[in-house]
Structure 1
Amino acid sequence: MTKNTRLKLLAVLGTLGFSMSAMSADVVVDPKGVVPYVTDSRNVVVTSGSGLCVQAGASWSPAAAEQAKDASGKPLACSCDPDLIAKEKCEPPKPAAPVARPAPKPAEQKVKLAADTLFDFDKATLRPEGKAKLDEIVSQLGKYNVEVILAVGHTDRIGSDAYNQKLSERRADAVKKYLISKGVPANRVYTEGKGEKMPVTGDKCKNMGPENRRNKKLIDCLQPDRRVEIQVIGTDK
Protein backbone atom coordinates (compact mmCIF):
# COMPACT_ATOMS: atom_id res chain seq x y z
CA MET A 1 0.00 0.00 0.00
CA THR A 2 1.43 3.41 -1.02
CA LYS A 3 1.72 6.30 1.31
CA ASN A 4 -1.00 8.22 -0.55
CA THR A 5 -3.37 5.24 -0.29
CA ARG A 6 -2.76 5.00 3.45
CA LEU A 7 -3.45 8.70 3.86
CA LYS A 8 -6.70 8.44 1.90
CA LEU A 9 -7.85 5.48 4.01
CA LEU A 10 -7.07 7.30 7.23
CA ALA A 11 -8.99 10.31 5.97
CA VAL A 12 -12.05 8.14 5.19
CA LEU A 13 -11.95 6.47 8.59
CA GLY A 14 -11.59 9.83 10.26
CA THR A 15 -14.69 11.02 8.42
CA LEU A 16 -16.71 7.88 9.28
CA GLY A 17 -15.71 7.73 12.93
CA PHE A 18 -16.02 4.79 15.35
CA SER A 19 -18.55 4.00 18.01
CA MET A 20 -17.40 4.09 21.62
CA SER A 21 -18.33 0.46 22.40
CA ALA A 22 -16.73 -2.77 21.17
CA MET A 23 -18.98 -5.59 19.84
CA SER A 24 -18.51 -9.14 20.95
CA ALA A 25 -20.15 -10.68 17.85
CA ASP A 26 -21.10 -9.80 14.29
CA VAL A 27 -24.18 -7.65 13.98
CA VAL A 28 -26.25 -8.41 10.91
CA VAL A 29 -28.17 -5.35 9.75
CA ASP A 30 -31.69 -5.15 8.39
CA PRO A 31 -30.88 -3.20 5.22
CA LYS A 32 -34.27 -1.48 5.03
CA GLY A 33 -34.08 2.25 5.48
CA VAL A 34 -31.02 4.29 6.49
CA VAL A 35 -28.19 2.25 8.02
CA PRO A 36 -26.00 4.58 10.11
CA TYR A 37 -23.06 2.15 10.26
CA VAL A 38 -20.71 0.89 7.58
CA THR A 39 -21.64 -2.64 6.47
CA ASP A 40 -19.99 -5.22 4.24
CA SER A 41 -21.53 -7.33 1.47
CA ARG A 42 -23.07 -9.64 4.09
CA ASN A 43 -24.91 -6.73 5.74
CA VAL A 44 -22.64 -7.14 8.77
CA VAL A 45 -21.53 -3.98 10.59
CA VAL A 46 -17.87 -3.24 9.91
CA THR A 47 -15.74 -2.91 13.06
CA SER A 48 -12.31 -1.58 13.83
CA GLY A 49 -9.47 -3.76 14.95
CA SER A 50 -10.59 -3.23 18.54
CA GLY A 51 -14.14 -4.28 17.74
CA LEU A 52 -15.72 -0.82 17.56
CA CYS A 53 -18.58 -0.19 15.10
CA VAL A 54 -17.64 2.07 12.20
CA GLN A 55 -20.15 4.93 11.99
CA ALA A 56 -21.32 6.00 8.54
CA GLY A 57 -20.31 9.62 8.72
CA ALA A 58 -23.18 12.05 8.17
CA SER A 59 -25.71 9.21 8.15
CA TRP A 60 -24.99 8.45 11.77
CA SER A 61 -26.84 10.06 14.66
CA PRO A 62 -28.09 8.70 17.98
CA ALA A 63 -31.64 8.74 16.63
CA ALA A 64 -30.62 6.91 13.44
CA ALA A 65 -28.71 4.31 15.48
CA GLU A 66 -31.86 3.68 17.52
CA GLN A 67 -34.20 3.57 14.53
CA ALA A 68 -32.10 1.19 12.43
CA LYS A 69 -32.58 -2.48 13.30
CA ASP A 70 -30.48 -5.59 13.23
CA ALA A 71 -31.74 -8.82 11.69
CA SER A 72 -33.56 -9.73 14.90
CA GLY A 73 -35.41 -6.39 15.00
CA LYS A 74 -33.35 -4.91 17.83
CA PRO A 75 -32.00 -1.33 17.47
CA LEU A 76 -28.42 -1.28 16.11
CA ALA A 77 -27.48 1.08 18.93
CA CYS A 78 -28.00 -1.77 21.38
CA SER A 79 -24.94 -3.56 19.94
CA CYS A 80 -22.90 -0.63 18.71
CA ASP A 81 -23.69 2.31 21.01
CA PRO A 82 -25.44 0.89 24.11
CA ASP A 83 -24.62 4.02 26.14
CA LEU A 84 -26.88 6.05 23.85
CA ILE A 85 -30.05 4.02 24.23
CA ALA A 86 -32.28 3.12 27.15
CA LYS A 87 -31.45 -0.32 28.48
CA GLU A 88 -35.05 -1.52 28.44
CA LYS A 89 -35.20 -0.96 24.66
CA CYS A 90 -32.47 -3.55 24.20
CA GLU A 91 -33.75 -6.23 26.53
CA PRO A 92 -36.19 -8.86 25.32
CA PRO A 93 -39.70 -8.22 26.59
CA LYS A 94 -40.37 -9.93 29.87
CA PRO A 95 -42.95 -12.65 29.61
CA ALA A 96 -46.28 -11.57 30.95
CA ALA A 97 -46.87 -12.71 34.48
CA PRO A 98 -49.26 -15.61 34.53
CA VAL A 99 -52.77 -14.51 35.33
CA ALA A 100 -53.91 -16.03 38.55
CA ARG A 101 -56.98 -18.05 37.78
CA PRO A 102 -59.46 -18.91 40.46
CA ALA A 103 -59.73 -22.55 41.33
CA PRO A 104 -62.39 -24.16 39.20
CA LYS A 105 -65.72 -24.28 40.92
CA PRO A 106 -66.98 -27.80 41.33
CA ALA A 107 -69.64 -28.54 38.80
CA GLU A 108 -73.13 -28.32 40.16
CA GLN A 109 -74.89 -31.63 40.06
CA LYS A 110 -78.30 -33.02 40.81
CA VAL A 111 -78.32 -36.02 43.06
CA LYS A 112 -81.60 -37.89 42.97
CA LEU A 113 -82.21 -39.80 46.17
CA ALA A 114 -85.19 -42.12 46.00
CA ALA A 115 -87.64 -42.15 48.86
CA ASP A 116 -90.54 -44.31 47.75
CA THR A 117 -93.20 -46.33 49.66
CA LEU A 118 -93.53 -43.46 52.08
CA PHE A 119 -97.28 -43.25 52.40
CA ASP A 120 -100.38 -45.35 52.84
CA PHE A 121 -103.25 -45.00 50.42
CA ASP A 122 -104.93 -41.59 50.61
CA LYS A 123 -102.59 -40.52 53.44
CA ALA A 124 -99.96 -37.82 53.86
CA THR A 125 -98.55 -39.31 57.04
CA LEU A 126 -95.11 -40.86 56.76
CA ARG A 127 -94.94 -44.61 57.22
CA PRO A 128 -92.23 -45.98 59.56
CA GLU A 129 -90.26 -47.40 56.64
CA GLY A 130 -90.59 -43.99 54.95
CA LYS A 131 -89.03 -42.29 57.95
CA ALA A 132 -86.21 -44.83 57.92
CA LYS A 133 -85.60 -44.06 54.25
CA LEU A 134 -85.51 -40.33 54.95
CA ASP A 135 -83.03 -40.93 57.78
CA GLU A 136 -80.75 -42.62 55.25
CA ILE A 137 -81.02 -39.64 52.95
CA VAL A 138 -80.21 -37.20 55.77
CA SER A 139 -77.09 -39.21 56.55
CA GLN A 140 -76.01 -38.92 52.90
CA LEU A 141 -76.40 -35.14 52.81
CA GLY A 142 -73.09 -34.76 54.62
CA LYS A 143 -71.32 -35.75 51.38
CA TYR A 144 -72.50 -32.62 49.61
CA ASN A 145 -72.36 -28.84 49.82
CA VAL A 146 -76.12 -28.61 49.69
CA GLU A 147 -77.72 -25.65 47.93
CA VAL A 148 -81.28 -26.83 47.37
CA ILE A 149 -83.31 -29.86 48.38
CA LEU A 150 -86.43 -30.35 46.28
CA ALA A 151 -89.13 -32.70 47.58
CA VAL A 152 -91.61 -33.66 44.85
CA GLY A 153 -94.79 -35.43 45.94
CA HIS A 154 -96.70 -38.00 43.86
CA THR A 155 -99.90 -40.05 44.16
CA ASP A 156 -101.43 -43.09 42.53
CA ARG A 157 -104.13 -42.66 39.91
CA ILE A 158 -107.15 -43.47 42.10
CA GLY A 159 -109.25 -40.36 42.72
CA SER A 160 -109.72 -37.07 40.88
CA ASP A 161 -106.85 -35.07 39.41
CA ALA A 162 -107.59 -32.09 41.65
CA TYR A 163 -107.71 -34.20 44.82
CA ASN A 164 -104.51 -36.05 43.96
CA GLN A 165 -102.71 -32.76 43.23
CA LYS A 166 -103.49 -31.50 46.74
CA LEU A 167 -102.55 -34.86 48.24
CA SER A 168 -99.17 -34.84 46.47
CA GLU A 169 -98.46 -31.37 47.87
CA ARG A 170 -99.31 -32.47 51.39
CA ARG A 171 -96.98 -35.45 51.07
CA ALA A 172 -94.13 -33.18 49.94
CA ASP A 173 -94.82 -30.89 52.91
CA ALA A 174 -94.73 -33.89 55.28
CA VAL A 175 -91.28 -34.82 53.98
CA LYS A 176 -90.05 -31.23 54.35
CA LYS A 177 -91.20 -31.10 57.98
CA TYR A 178 -89.47 -34.39 58.73
CA LEU A 179 -86.19 -33.24 57.13
CA ILE A 180 -86.30 -30.01 59.14
CA SER A 181 -86.88 -32.02 62.32
CA LYS A 182 -83.62 -33.87 61.51
CA GLY A 183 -81.60 -30.67 61.29
CA VAL A 184 -81.86 -29.80 57.60
CA PRO A 185 -82.12 -25.98 57.23
CA ALA A 186 -85.67 -24.98 56.34
CA ASN A 187 -84.49 -22.44 53.76
CA ARG A 188 -82.83 -25.22 51.76
CA VAL A 189 -85.94 -27.35 51.33
CA TYR A 190 -88.51 -26.66 48.61
CA THR A 191 -91.63 -28.66 47.78
CA GLU A 192 -93.69 -29.40 44.72
CA GLY A 193 -96.65 -31.65 43.96
CA LYS A 194 -97.10 -33.57 40.71
CA GLY A 195 -100.36 -35.32 41.54
CA GLU A 196 -100.89 -38.56 39.60
CA LYS A 197 -99.10 -37.38 36.46
CA MET A 198 -95.84 -39.31 36.91
CA PRO A 199 -96.54 -42.91 38.00
CA VAL A 200 -93.65 -45.35 38.25
CA THR A 201 -95.77 -48.50 38.01
CA GLY A 202 -96.32 -48.09 34.27
CA ASP A 203 -98.55 -50.82 32.83
CA LYS A 204 -97.97 -53.12 35.76
CA CYS A 205 -101.31 -52.34 37.41
CA LYS A 206 -103.57 -52.28 34.36
CA ASN A 207 -106.67 -54.46 34.05
CA MET A 208 -106.89 -55.11 37.77
CA GLY A 209 -110.55 -54.31 38.22
CA PRO A 210 -112.40 -51.21 39.42
CA GLU A 211 -110.35 -48.04 39.83
CA ASN A 212 -111.56 -47.21 43.33
CA ARG A 213 -110.54 -47.38 46.97
CA ARG A 214 -112.34 -50.68 47.49
CA ASN A 215 -109.99 -52.54 45.12
CA LYS A 216 -107.30 -53.62 47.60
CA LYS A 217 -105.38 -55.54 44.96
CA LEU A 218 -105.07 -52.42 42.80
CA ILE A 219 -104.20 -50.23 45.80
CA ASP A 220 -101.38 -52.60 46.80
CA CYS A 221 -100.08 -52.69 43.23
CA LEU A 222 -99.99 -48.88 43.02
CA GLN A 223 -98.04 -48.49 46.28
CA PRO A 224 -94.77 -47.34 44.52
CA ASP A 225 -96.64 -44.38 43.03
CA ARG A 226 -97.42 -43.00 46.48
CA ARG A 227 -94.04 -41.42 47.01
CA VAL A 228 -91.92 -38.31 47.35
CA GLU A 229 -88.78 -37.96 45.22
CA ILE A 230 -85.97 -35.88 46.65
CA GLN A 231 -83.40 -34.05 44.56
CA VAL A 232 -80.33 -32.61 46.22
CA ILE A 233 -78.70 -29.86 44.18
CA GLY A 234 -75.16 -29.01 45.18
CA THR A 235 -71.57 -30.11 44.82
CA ASP A 236 -69.45 -32.91 46.15
CA LYS A 237 -67.33 -32.01 49.12
Structure 2
Amino acid sequence: MNLTIKALGIEPFSISNEIPEGLSGYYIPDTKVLCAVATFGKFMIQLVDLGEYSWLYYIFMIKEEITFLLTYSAPLILVRIILKGNFSYEIEFLGNVPLGENQCNVICLPTPLNKLHFCPGEYILFETLYSSSSILQTLIYFPMFEDFKANITAYKPALLCMPHIKPSASVIECVYKIIHSPFSENVRQFHIKSIKDLLIHILEATSHSKPVNIGLLLMSLKEYMQHKLL
Protein backbone atom coordinates (compact mmCIF):
# COMPACT_ATOMS: atom_id res chain seq x y z
CA MET A 1 0.00 0.00 0.00
CA ASN A 2 1.33 3.39 -0.98
CA LEU A 3 0.19 6.88 -0.03
CA THR A 4 0.74 10.22 -1.73
CA ILE A 5 -0.03 13.59 -0.17
CA LYS A 6 -0.18 17.09 -1.59
CA ALA A 7 -1.46 20.44 -0.34
CA LEU A 8 -4.12 22.24 -2.33
CA GLY A 9 -3.68 25.90 -3.28
CA ILE A 10 0.03 26.23 -2.52
CA GLU A 11 3.28 25.53 -4.28
CA PRO A 12 4.33 21.86 -4.41
CA PHE A 13 6.60 20.75 -1.57
CA SER A 14 9.20 18.01 -1.30
CA ILE A 15 8.60 14.73 0.52
CA SER A 16 11.59 13.13 2.23
CA ASN A 17 12.41 10.57 4.90
CA GLU A 18 14.29 13.15 6.98
CA ILE A 19 12.42 13.60 10.25
CA PRO A 20 11.59 17.28 10.92
CA GLU A 21 12.87 18.98 14.06
CA GLY A 22 10.59 18.32 17.01
CA LEU A 23 9.03 15.15 15.58
CA SER A 24 11.73 12.56 16.30
CA GLY A 25 9.97 11.55 19.53
CA TYR A 26 7.11 10.16 17.44
CA TYR A 27 9.31 8.04 15.19
CA ILE A 28 8.73 4.28 15.19
CA PRO A 29 11.81 2.35 13.99
CA ASP A 30 11.62 0.49 10.67
CA THR A 31 8.49 2.20 9.37
CA LYS A 32 8.26 3.89 5.98
CA VAL A 33 8.42 7.64 6.63
CA LEU A 34 6.99 10.54 4.60
CA CYS A 35 7.98 13.97 5.92
CA ALA A 36 7.75 17.58 4.80
CA VAL A 37 8.53 21.07 6.07
CA ALA A 38 6.98 24.05 4.25
CA THR A 39 5.21 27.35 4.83
CA PHE A 40 2.16 25.52 6.20
CA GLY A 41 4.21 23.85 8.95
CA LYS A 42 5.44 20.26 8.99
CA PHE A 43 4.28 16.69 9.14
CA MET A 44 5.49 13.13 9.51
CA ILE A 45 3.53 10.12 8.26
CA GLN A 46 4.62 6.59 9.13
CA LEU A 47 3.39 3.54 7.24
CA VAL A 48 3.64 -0.21 7.66
CA ASP A 49 2.25 -2.37 4.82
CA LEU A 50 1.23 -5.89 5.86
CA GLY A 51 -0.51 -6.99 2.67
CA GLU A 52 -4.26 -7.16 3.36
CA TYR A 53 -3.68 -4.88 6.35
CA SER A 54 -1.69 -1.69 6.88
CA TRP A 55 -1.43 1.08 9.42
CA LEU A 56 -0.59 4.79 9.26
CA TYR A 57 0.46 7.19 12.02
CA TYR A 58 0.22 10.91 11.22
CA ILE A 59 1.71 13.88 13.05
CA PHE A 60 0.78 17.33 11.69
CA MET A 61 2.02 20.64 13.11
CA ILE A 62 0.15 23.27 11.11
CA LYS A 63 0.83 27.04 11.05
CA GLU A 64 -1.86 28.12 8.58
CA GLU A 65 -5.22 26.83 7.38
CA ILE A 66 -4.67 24.19 4.72
CA THR A 67 -6.24 21.26 2.88
CA PHE A 68 -4.28 18.12 2.06
CA LEU A 69 -5.28 15.60 -0.57
CA LEU A 70 -4.45 12.02 0.41
CA THR A 71 -4.38 9.39 -2.31
CA TYR A 72 -4.13 5.72 -1.38
CA SER A 73 -2.87 3.16 -3.88
CA ALA A 74 -6.14 1.20 -3.96
CA PRO A 75 -9.74 1.30 -2.75
CA LEU A 76 -9.97 0.26 0.88
CA ILE A 77 -11.76 0.41 4.20
CA LEU A 78 -10.05 2.24 7.00
CA VAL A 79 -10.46 2.95 10.69
CA ARG A 80 -9.57 6.58 11.44
CA ILE A 81 -8.87 7.52 15.06
CA ILE A 82 -8.15 11.08 16.17
CA LEU A 83 -5.78 11.16 19.11
CA LYS A 84 -5.27 14.94 19.15
CA GLY A 85 -6.98 17.90 17.48
CA ASN A 86 -10.28 18.65 15.73
CA PHE A 87 -10.49 18.81 11.95
CA SER A 88 -12.70 17.74 9.04
CA TYR A 89 -12.29 15.47 6.06
CA GLU A 90 -14.05 15.35 2.72
CA ILE A 91 -14.97 12.21 0.80
CA GLU A 92 -16.59 12.07 -2.62
CA PHE A 93 -20.41 11.84 -2.35
CA LEU A 94 -20.30 12.16 1.46
CA GLY A 95 -19.17 15.79 1.62
CA ASN A 96 -17.39 17.44 4.53
CA VAL A 97 -17.34 15.42 7.76
CA PRO A 98 -16.08 16.96 11.05
CA LEU A 99 -14.08 14.66 13.31
CA GLY A 100 -13.01 15.60 16.82
CA GLU A 101 -10.34 14.59 19.27
CA ASN A 102 -10.95 11.17 20.81
CA GLN A 103 -13.37 10.14 18.07
CA CYS A 104 -13.19 7.37 15.47
CA ASN A 105 -15.10 5.76 12.64
CA VAL A 106 -14.85 3.09 9.96
CA ILE A 107 -14.81 4.54 6.44
CA CYS A 108 -15.35 2.85 3.09
CA LEU A 109 -13.26 4.52 0.36
CA PRO A 110 -14.06 2.97 -3.03
CA THR A 111 -12.37 6.01 -4.59
CA PRO A 112 -8.98 5.94 -2.86
CA LEU A 113 -8.64 9.62 -2.04
CA ASN A 114 -9.91 12.10 0.53
CA LYS A 115 -9.23 15.63 1.68
CA LEU A 116 -8.17 16.67 5.19
CA HIS A 117 -8.90 20.25 6.30
CA PHE A 118 -6.73 21.68 9.08
CA CYS A 119 -6.62 24.96 10.98
CA PRO A 120 -3.42 26.01 12.80
CA GLY A 121 -2.60 23.53 15.54
CA GLU A 122 -1.20 20.07 16.29
CA TYR A 123 -2.92 16.91 15.09
CA ILE A 124 -2.27 13.22 15.70
CA LEU A 125 -4.16 10.61 13.67
CA PHE A 126 -3.95 6.84 13.53
CA GLU A 127 -5.42 4.68 10.78
CA THR A 128 -5.69 0.96 10.21
CA LEU A 129 -6.40 -0.14 6.63
CA TYR A 130 -8.21 -3.27 5.44
CA SER A 131 -8.88 -4.91 2.09
CA SER A 132 -12.55 -5.33 1.17
CA SER A 133 -12.30 -9.10 1.42
CA SER A 134 -10.82 -9.06 4.92
CA ILE A 135 -13.43 -6.72 6.36
CA LEU A 136 -16.35 -8.48 4.65
CA GLN A 137 -15.21 -11.70 6.30
CA THR A 138 -15.32 -9.97 9.70
CA LEU A 139 -18.72 -8.38 9.07
CA ILE A 140 -20.26 -11.84 8.67
CA TYR A 141 -20.40 -11.92 12.47
CA PHE A 142 -22.05 -8.49 12.74
CA PRO A 143 -25.40 -8.64 10.89
CA MET A 144 -26.45 -5.27 12.33
CA PHE A 145 -24.06 -3.68 9.80
CA GLU A 146 -25.73 -5.12 6.68
CA ASP A 147 -26.15 -1.61 5.21
CA PHE A 148 -22.44 -0.87 5.59
CA LYS A 149 -21.58 -4.28 4.12
CA ALA A 150 -23.87 -3.58 1.16
CA ASN A 151 -22.10 -0.27 0.50
CA ILE A 152 -18.73 -2.05 0.46
CA THR A 153 -19.89 -4.67 -2.03
CA ALA A 154 -21.51 -1.95 -4.18
CA TYR A 155 -18.33 0.19 -4.09
CA LYS A 156 -20.14 3.12 -2.47
CA PRO A 157 -18.48 5.51 0.02
CA ALA A 158 -19.88 5.06 3.51
CA LEU A 159 -19.36 5.60 7.22
CA LEU A 160 -20.03 2.81 9.70
CA CYS A 161 -21.94 5.17 11.99
CA MET A 162 -22.93 8.76 12.57
CA PRO A 163 -22.23 10.43 14.87
CA HIS A 164 -18.67 9.21 15.28
CA ILE A 165 -17.94 7.04 18.30
CA LYS A 166 -15.48 7.40 21.15
CA PRO A 167 -12.72 4.77 20.97
CA SER A 168 -12.91 2.38 23.90
CA ALA A 169 -10.02 1.61 26.21
CA SER A 170 -9.51 -1.62 24.25
CA VAL A 171 -9.17 0.32 20.98
CA ILE A 172 -6.66 2.75 22.49
CA GLU A 173 -4.73 -0.19 23.91
CA CYS A 174 -4.40 -1.67 20.39
CA VAL A 175 -3.14 1.68 19.06
CA TYR A 176 -0.67 1.95 21.94
CA LYS A 177 0.66 -1.56 21.30
CA ILE A 178 1.24 -0.82 17.61
CA ILE A 179 2.92 2.58 17.93
CA HIS A 180 5.17 1.35 20.73
CA SER A 181 6.30 -1.76 18.85
CA PRO A 182 9.19 -1.09 16.44
CA PHE A 183 8.28 -2.99 13.30
CA SER A 184 10.18 -6.03 12.04
CA GLU A 185 9.22 -9.32 10.43
CA ASN A 186 9.47 -10.90 13.89
CA VAL A 187 6.46 -8.89 15.08
CA ARG A 188 4.50 -8.97 11.81
CA GLN A 189 1.80 -11.31 13.17
CA PHE A 190 1.56 -9.24 16.35
CA HIS A 191 0.80 -6.13 14.25
CA ILE A 192 -1.78 -8.00 12.14
CA LYS A 193 -3.51 -9.36 15.25
CA SER A 194 -3.60 -5.87 16.81
CA ILE A 195 -5.13 -4.40 13.62
CA LYS A 196 -7.79 -7.13 13.54
CA ASP A 197 -8.54 -6.75 17.26
CA LEU A 198 -8.90 -2.98 16.90
CA LEU A 199 -11.60 -3.41 14.25
CA ILE A 200 -13.46 -6.00 16.32
CA HIS A 201 -13.48 -3.70 19.37
CA ILE A 202 -14.96 -0.83 17.30
CA LEU A 203 -17.62 -3.07 15.73
CA GLU A 204 -18.56 -4.47 19.13
CA ALA A 205 -18.85 -0.99 20.67
CA THR A 206 -20.94 0.33 17.79
CA SER A 207 -23.20 -2.73 17.54
CA HIS A 208 -24.85 -1.99 20.90
CA SER A 209 -26.79 0.92 19.38
CA LYS A 210 -27.79 -0.92 16.19
CA PRO A 211 -31.06 -2.84 15.71
CA VAL A 212 -30.58 -6.40 14.50
CA ASN A 213 -32.68 -9.12 12.91
CA ILE A 214 -32.72 -12.01 15.41
CA GLY A 215 -32.65 -14.62 12.64
CA LEU A 216 -29.54 -13.04 11.10
CA LEU A 217 -27.92 -12.82 14.52
CA LEU A 218 -28.48 -16.53 15.22
CA MET A 219 -27.06 -17.45 11.81
CA SER A 220 -24.01 -15.27 12.49
CA LEU A 221 -23.48 -16.85 15.90
CA LYS A 222 -23.68 -20.31 14.31
CA GLU A 223 -21.08 -19.35 11.67
CA TYR A 224 -18.88 -17.84 14.37
CA MET A 225 -18.97 -21.00 16.48
CA GLN A 226 -18.25 -23.19 13.45
CA HIS A 227 -15.32 -20.95 12.55
CA LYS A 228 -13.93 -21.12 16.11
CA LEU A 229 -14.19 -24.92 16.13
CA LEU A 230 -12.28 -25.39 12.86
Q: Shorter-chain TM-score: which interval? A: under 0.3
Q: TM-score, normalised by structure 1?
A: 0.17
The structure carrying a bigger strand percent of its residues is: 2
Q: TM-score, normalised by structure 2?
A: 0.18
**Bigger CA radius of gyration:** 1
